[in-house]
Homo-oligomer: A and B are copies of this chain.
Amino acid sequence: MAYGTLYLIPCPISDETAPWEVLPASNREVMDALDYFIVENTRTARRFLSRAGIARPIDMLEFRELNEHTTAGRAVEELVQPLLEGRSAGVISEAGVPAVADPGALVVEACHRRGIRVVPLVGPSSILLAVMASGLNGQSFAFNGYLPVKPPERARAIRFFERRAHAERQSQLFIEAPYRNVKLFEQLLQLLAPQTRLTVAMDLSAPGQWVETHAVEEWRHRQVPDMNRHPAIFIIG
């Protein structure tokens, strides 16, 4: 029997954005055909599919969660089992594209190991939008995930990214929990060299999106919008 296919299904980054404002209409065909979804959070995934107006009633769909609470090995086996039996599945993360900066890669990996076909769909990624809009080097860039939380390690990480950005001309992206953005931004202005370029990209793909790139010395005497609780990406270039 032929295996099912694993589709990677993006959703909006922001609650303020309607699904079809940031997703190609052709994603709908795939979404309409599926009845099994592997999701980071069932509540937000149901809400997304419902706002997208897919063909099937949401209550007829099966949702299973894959997130940091799911224990790896055994749980992933079980998630993939229906695909081995010929059923296709959609992976949906909490925001943006799945399997980037979330646990979705575990199920993708399990599919490759078993020869199950994986198909990624187009959608919004704050990482990619930030690189595009930064004006920093887009021919070489690295996404580094979250900064360490403890102050000494955090400062070390920031200095490390600055050194690598300069030495390799590689733009260095990182993120922070949105309620810590203001503190992080202050710390960046303290720790980075005056000439180092820094991008702040906030609320990407949402109505109030805001991206600016300046040298650190210029950021120091600029007015900036309130960053508190606004999802943001930072890039050192």
Contact = CB atoms under 8 A, between A and B. Distances in A.
Interface stretch (A41-49, A82-90, A97-105, A183-191): A97-105
B132 A99 contact: yes
Contact of A138 (B104, B129, B132): B104
A112 B135 contact: yes
B26 A99 contact: no
A17 to B, nearest CB: 9
B23 A24 contact: yes
Interface stretch (A50-58, A59-67, A208-216): A208-216
Interface string A108-127: 11111000001110111101
Interface in A196-230: 204-205, 209, 211-214
A8 interface: yes
A26 B26 CA distance: 14
How many of these chains are in the complex?
Answer: 2
A125 B141 CA distance: 14
B131 A100 contact: yes
A71 interface: no
B20 A138 contact: no
A109 B132 contact: no
Given A99-B138, A108-B133, A122-B129, 15 more contacts: A8-B133, A20-B24, A20-B25, A22-B26, A100-B131, A101-B138, A105-B138, A110-B135, A112-B212, A112-B214, A119-B133, A120-B129, A120-B211, A128-B128, A140-B142
Interface of A: 8, 20-26, 97-102, 104-106, 108-112, 118-120, 122-125, 127-129, 131-145, 170, 204-205, 209, 211-214
